[in-house]
Every structure is written in structure tokens, then in C-alpha cells.
A and B are shown apart, each in its own frame.
Chain A
Amino acid sequence: MNEPTCFHCGLPNPRQPYTLTIHNECRYFCCAGCQSAAKTIVDAGLAEYYKFHQPDQHPVENWLTSVGQSSFLHYDRDDTQAEFVQRQGEKLKSCILIIEGISCSACTWLIEKRLLQLTGVTSATVNASTHRLSIQWDDSTCRLSNVFQALFLIGYKASPFLPDEEEQIRHRTQRKYIFRLGVAGIGMMQAMMNAVALYSGDITQQHERWLWWTSLVLTLPVIFISAWPFFTSAWHSIKGRHLSMDVSVSIAILSAFIASCLATVTGHGEVYFESVNMFTFFLVLSRFLEFRARSLAHTQGNAIHQELPQTCQLATSEGSREVLMKDLKPNDIIQLMPGETCPVDGHITSGQSEFDESSFTGEFKSVPKSIGDAVSAGTINQHQKVTVRVAETGSNNSFHLLRTLIERAGAEKPRIAELADKGSRQFIWSTLIISVVIGLVWLWVDIDRAYWIVISVLVVTCPCALSLATPTALAQATLSLKNRGFVITRGYVLERLASLEAIAFDKTGTLTEGQFRVIKISRTSLAKDMSLTDDEILAICAELERNSEHPIARAFPWTSAEHQFEPIEGIRNLSGIGVEGSNEAGKWFLGTPAEKVLQVVSSNKVLNLTLNQQLLAIIELDDQVRATTPSTLDLLRKLNVTTHVLTGDSATDLDKQFIDLGVSGSYYGHLSAQEKVEWLNQLNNQNIAFVGDGLNDAPLLAKAPVSIAMLNATDMSKAQADVLMLTSDLQVLAYAVQLAKKTKRIIRQNLGWALVYNAVALPIAAVGWVAPWQAAIGMSVSSLLVVGNALRLRN
């Protein structure tokens, strides 16, 4: 019996899942990446991970062959390390890496355990909230590339991290918040204890004064440490001639504090230190929660991305030598090995190969190139060594042009003002004016009571609940979505998602997996005579493709020693045709059938496996729709969100499949990046979200009202996105729309409650029936209700 979900990542399994036997039990996996990660983890003696981990992980997306993994060696170079590695003493080095793919605390456990198993690693600590790994290693016994490789093999992607200015400020701010929160909490508790004694009533004059003075001393640090930033921010906003929430907060805190101080010094009047402390504590708490949700979303953005290689091989008359990228000049000739990313725009001068241009076109089938053909920077050489004559370097190459296009689109994007400030600004004005009017009236009616009544009015109408109503709900929803792998990086996303009308999807890599998979194996009678099973055929194909970087090779995951046959030697890539190699049985060939080489390739890739030129099996490959796609489209339709598909690919057999699957809007093929943006412009201001991954999606991501980048998106697309999907479970999209609607509802409830409360409390306080302590309790209860309501968004 097959299990429906992947043992490693918990996503739905395909019809023919990958299997692995762990502790005498057969486990099922959704992809080769998950399977090989699980194998590595179990082999390292860390199978206990599966006892702890929550199976809602990210699948191991990027499955690289040994050739691909050798790119990690890049990190051993001193000039690369200079950017992010610190030396600690003679042999020790340390650095910080950002890890992609962490989804629960078991992941941090696994990473730390695995890395400490490596010889030479002296310490490894993962911060579960920021996904940073601090690692220290002995340079003489361990190399940094080993660390990258070990992380990769257990299913995580690492990139070097260098804290920038903004990051350091964020770090300091977090510590400051915690300190402020702690001080306010301690002050609040102590002042409350004093307040219990004071309100008990049975207390002598002398003891009462003593307790007043104690409370005053306890409140001082709260005012000067916890509440001080409110005052400075209020001061800045007054100087900038606009009114923020902090202004009325500061007026309420300061006036209650000063009046209480006066009462303590003169010996008569009333003190409300505990109200001041409580008020401050709740304010800092709400701000801290909001800050945390906000800053966690940004932690991914700081990695140093090395999309382009820093050096390349310059071909000279005496052979080739390594040169720095910046030293290249037009008309230089460089060598490009298979698996290397082309660093420049240029033309091929010798050799022929296929190039993966998926980062530009989104099309993952590679494009054949031969002498004279143009190649673009950022594309990957798939097969054979070629030499390239440099046409454009540095800022003129197409990679940079695309970047400029993105920046322009990003600048045109309308930004909505923060929701939180919208309603409250007028509200602050009116409470201030009303307080003054009430004060003036009371000066005329009863001059003794005027001051405290004004304070009561200010506290009771303090827009605390109003100011908490929106940010708490937003922060909670953001956090809840982040836990599901839907990381929001811009403030307006939830607001727009709530009124979303349509979602446009890129196809390859978004709705589909963007990888070839075996869909059908037909064995010939010869294969049956040799009693070869499907599994053995696949194992032979895997053996033949083991050194290939071609996307097709990924369809044949390396399933290790379960099948016994002679190793195949002398494997050769035949560009555009296939691979061949031989062993004792004879000469093996896997590739496009000879009679079809010249035909226009249909969408399904058909491969022949031959032995000594006799056909053994026909293998059909195709991209597959993600397992979660149909249910996502279904859920979105129920939410009345129209779904569109925009793709740069040529039409394929999958098209009809999508319409069957329930794409409710239109389906466009053959679109360039520019046409995609034009399509969006035609929709004049419809509230539309776009989900994409490739470099060609980046301009549209920058332009769309809500842009969502997939986990495997290129870095540039990620930088443009409002939302990063850290999961390949598309259903989270529908969940996000649902939660955004719920958030909007809860914000409305909260604002409604805050307004009703104020409308009722204001007249009561104005006629002098509310003492300041009652006002403070009323305000706190009101705030707590609002926060409690927002916490419902946590599921």
C-alpha cells in the first residue's frame, strides 16, 4: 500500500512514488530529492529527526548531480571567502549562512547535529526564527565547501550572509524592544502590587504616602526606558507637522504621570502610576509583536547572491587561464565548461552545446547552440565545452538590462499608505479637541475637578484599542501565514489579498514542477526476453545519465546499488541526441530516436534506450502538474477568484489539461516578459495577484498589485516579490486569500468595537462619572479584547 504523502516533506505523492527502506519499513517519497536527503539523514545516524519533524516541510527541490555539486568548491576560494568569512585565531574561521528550507525546530536540530559530525567543525548554531547558521570550523581539517555540500545533501540550500546596516539596526531594535518590554513588565507588576495595597482602603496616611513614593520610583524606569521612544517619535511627528498615534499616547502617559507625581509631592490628589505602567506595557507588547512579525519576514532578503560566477577561463594562445570577470574586455575569448553559467553576452566561436535559458524564458528545455549563435549572460551551458567571444560585459549585458527593466516597473508600482494610520489620524485630532473643549467647560463648572476629568477623557478615549486593532491582526495573520511558508514582505499584501479578483499563474515551475519526469515506459519484446523490469531500465538510464547536467538527467534519479549490472564506462554526451556508453553487455544508447532528430520536437520528450542498436524500451517524459495544483484551482474558484495562466512556453499538451483542471480565466501561451506586463496594463487596476518564478516573470512581479515568487524562483524575481512562497504546496494561496478576508473582517470588528467603546465611554467620562483608574481599566480591557480577537487568526 502506498502512503499518500511524502515521508520527508509531507506533500502528496505522485502515482509512482520513490521508495526507500528505513529500519525495515518501506517509506514513500514525492521526489528524488526528498528520497536522497532521507537516505543521507538515515545513513548519518540521524533518523531520529523523523520522530521530531512535522511533515509539512519543503520538498528538496534542487537535485544536483556531482557536477553541479562541484560548484560548491567556489566557496573554498580565498577571494570568495573574503566577502563573508571571519578569521578567529590561527586556524579557526567563522561565518554566517542563511539556510533555505527550515520549517520546524527539528530542522535546526538536524542541521546542527549533521554539521558537528563533520571533522573540523567546532560549532554550529541555527537560529530558528531568522534561519541563520553561525558556524565555526578549523580551516586545516575542514573546507567550507564540505559544509555547503553536507547541507545540500540533507535538503537545505545555504547562501553566505553578511549583515548589512539595516540588518544590524533590526538586531539592535529587537534587543531594545525586549529590554523595554521586560522593564515595563517588572514595573507594572510591582506597581500593581502597591496599587492592591492602596485600593484595599485600610491604610494609614503615612503608609499611603510611602507607597506613592515607591510607585513613583518604580515608574521612573518605565517612563525613561520603556515609554521614552514613544515620546521621541511623537516629538518628531509634531515637528514634521503630522499627527501620529504616538502623540496622543504620549500626552496620556505624560499627563497621567506628571499629575501623579504632583499628587505624590503635594500629598493630596490621586495617583495612577499602575495605570501608566500597564498602559506602557501593553503598548510596547503590541509594538513588539508587530515588529517581530515584520522583521521575520525580511530575514531572507540579506543573502549575498552570487548568480553570476566571479571568475572565468580566458582562452589564450598558450592555453587557458583564470581571470577575474571585471578584467574581461569585448572580443576576448572565454571557455565555458558544461554546467557553467555564461558570465557575458557573446557568440560561440567553437564547439556546440545546449544552453539552459530558463532564467530568461522560463522554458526549461534547453536550446541548442552552435558556432555563431548568440548566448546570453546568466544562461547555463549543458553539454560540451564551448568557447565564446565576448560581446558585452558588465553593465551592458542582458542580465543587467533585465534588472533595469525590473527596477523601472518597481518604481511605477502604486504604494498604499499603511492601513493602521488611515482612520486614526482624524480620530486623534477629534479626541484632542474634544478633551480641550470638555476641559474648558469643566473649568467653568468646577475648576477643581477639571484636570482629572480631562485625563480620564484622554485615557478613556485613548486610541490604544484603535491603534492595536489593525497592527495586531495584521501581525498575527502575517505570522500565521509565514508558518505555512507564505512569507509576506510588504505591508499592503493582506489588504489587497482580501479583495483579490484574480490570480495569474506562470505555468512552468509554478503550476507544474518544471522538471521532466518519466510518465511511461514501453518495453520491447527484446527487453522482455532479457527479463528486464521497468526499475532496471530506469537504473540503466540513471547510470547513463549520471554525469549529465541536462534537465532530462533529472528524470532519472540515482537509485543506488539495488540493481546489479556491470558499470557502464566511457559515457559520452552526444549533443542534441543523447548519451552513450558501454559495458560487457555491449553499447548502450539513450536519447532521441534517430529518425526523429530532424523533426520538430513535440512537447513530450520521447527517448529510446538501445543496446547494440537494438531497441529495448521507449521512455516518455513530460513535465508534470504539481500534485496540489487541482485542489488549489478548485479552492480559488470557490473563493470567487478568477485564475489565469500566462506562460512563455509554446503550447503543449498540458494546455488542455489545465482547462480541465479548472482554470476559470484565460490561458495565454507564447508571451514575452513585455507582453505579460502589457496584459496586466490592459486590466486597468484590477486587483490581481501574479505567481511566478523565472527571470522573465520578474518585470511582471514588479508591476503586479500583489506578486508572489515561488520557492525555486531566481533571486531577482524573489527580490521583486511581495510574497515569497517557501513551500511548493500551492494550496497555501487559497488559504492566504481566506485568511486575508478573515483578517479584514476581524480588523473591522476591532475598529467597530473600539469606536463603540469610545462613543459610549466619552460622554460618561465627560460628565465626570469615570475616575482615571476606571478609565485605565476600561481602556486595558478594551485593548485586551481587541488583541484577543486578533489572536483568533492563529487558527
Chain B
Amino acid sequence: MDILLLLIPVTLLLLTVSGVLFWWTVKSGQYDDLDSPAQRILFDDDEHMIPTSKDKNDDD
């Protein structure tokens, strides 16, 4: 179980990194709108982004 002595500091380090990243996401305003992004993904207005068979032929 002595591996804990190593693993726990590693998790703490990772935690610090993720904590800083979290701080950055909040600071850059990514949580300012908590309502619309959750529903925006449901709008099927991305048809132009779905590759059609014609596009595939173009690729070939």
C-alpha cells in the first residue's frame, strides 16, 4: 500500500492543474449562460455540416 505515498501527491498535482483550468473557464465567461447551450445542441440546423454522398465523391 506504500504506493499511496506516491499516488496521492500525483492526484493532488492533477487536481491543482484541473483547478487552475476550472478557474480559467470561469474567468473566460464559459459559465455565464447556463441555460441555452444545453438546448442549443438539440437544434437540427447543422445539415450543411453533415457530409453527403456527393461530398464523398468529391473527396475521392
Partners in one complex: yes
| A residues adjacent to B (C-beta < 8 A) | 48, 51-52, 104-106, 108-109, 113, 126-130, 171, 174-175, 178-179, 182-183, 186, 190, 204, 207, 210-211, 214, 217-218, 221, 292
Instruction: Output the least CB separation between B50 and chain A (Å).
Output: 15
By the criterion CB–CB under 8 Å, are A214 and B43 in contact?
no
CA distance A175 to B29 in the complex (A): 8
Instruction: Report the 5 A-B pairs with minimum CB-CB distance, sorted nearest first.
Output: A128-B36, A105-B39, A128-B35, A129-B35, A127-B33
Verify B22–A179 contact, CB threshold 8 A. yes
For residue A109, which residues in chain B have a CB less than 8 angstroms away from its CB?
40, 43, 45
Give Cα A119–Cα B4 distance, bound, in whole angstroms: 61
Closest to A48 in B: B45
Q: Name A105's contact: one of B4, B5, B15, B40 (CB within 8 Å).
A: B40
User: What residues of chain B have their CB less than 8 Å away from a CB belonging to chain A?
Assistant: 1, 4-5, 8, 11-12, 15, 18-19, 22-23, 26-27, 29, 31-36, 39-40, 42-45
CB <8 Å contact, B26 and A175: yes
In the bound complex, residues from chain A placing their C-beta under 8 Å from that of B4 are 207, 210-211
CA distance A127 to B31 in the complex (A): 11
Candidates B18, B27, B44, B45; contact of A186 at CB < 8 Å = B18
Interface of B is mostly: helix
- Assembly CA distance A127 to B11 (angstroms): 36
| Bound-complex Cα distance A51 to B29 (A) | 30
CA distance A123 to B8 in the complex (A): 46
Shortest beta-carbon distance from A98 to chain B in Å: 15
Q: How far is B45's CA from A628's CA once the two chains are assembled, in angstroms?
A: 35
Within 8 Å CB of B1, what residues of A? 204, 207
Q: Enumerate chain B residues within 8 angstroms of A127, measured Cβ to Cβ.
A: 32-33, 36
CB distance from A678 to the nearest CB of B (A): 44
- Within the complex, the shortest CB–CB distance from B9 to chain A, in Å, comes to 9
Q: Is the CB of A175 within 8 A of B35?
A: no
Beyond the given pairs A128-B39, A129-B33, 8 more chain A to chain B contacts, judged by CB atoms under 8 angstroms and listed by A's residue number, are A105-B39, A108-B40, A127-B32, A129-B34, A175-B27, A179-B22, A190-B11, A210-B5
In the assembled complex, how far is the CB of residue A741 from the closest CB belonging to chain B, in whole angstroms? Answer: 28
Q: Is the CB of A129 within 8 A of B22?
A: no
On chain B, the residues within 8 Å of A190 by CB distance are 11, 15
Residues of chain A with a CB closer than 8 A to B45's CB = 48, 109, 113
Alpha-carbon distance between A210 and B33 when the two chains are bound, in angstroms: 41
- In the complex, are the beta carbons of A52 and B43 less than 8 A apart? yes
Shortest Cβ distance from A105 into B: residue: B39
Enumerate chain A residues within 8 angstroms of B35, measured Cβ to Cβ. Answer: 105, 128-129
- Chain B neighbourhood of A108, CB < 8 A: 36, 40
Residue of A178, A211, A221 with most chain B CB atoms under a 10 A cut-off: A178
Bound-state Cα–Cα, A175 to B26, Å: 6
19 residue pairs from A and B, CB less than 8 Å apart: A52-B42, A52-B43, A105-B36, A105-B39, A106-B43, A108-B40, A127-B32, A129-B34, A129-B36, A174-B31, A174-B32, A175-B31, A179-B22, A179-B26, A183-B22, A190-B11, A190-B15, A217-B12, A292-B34
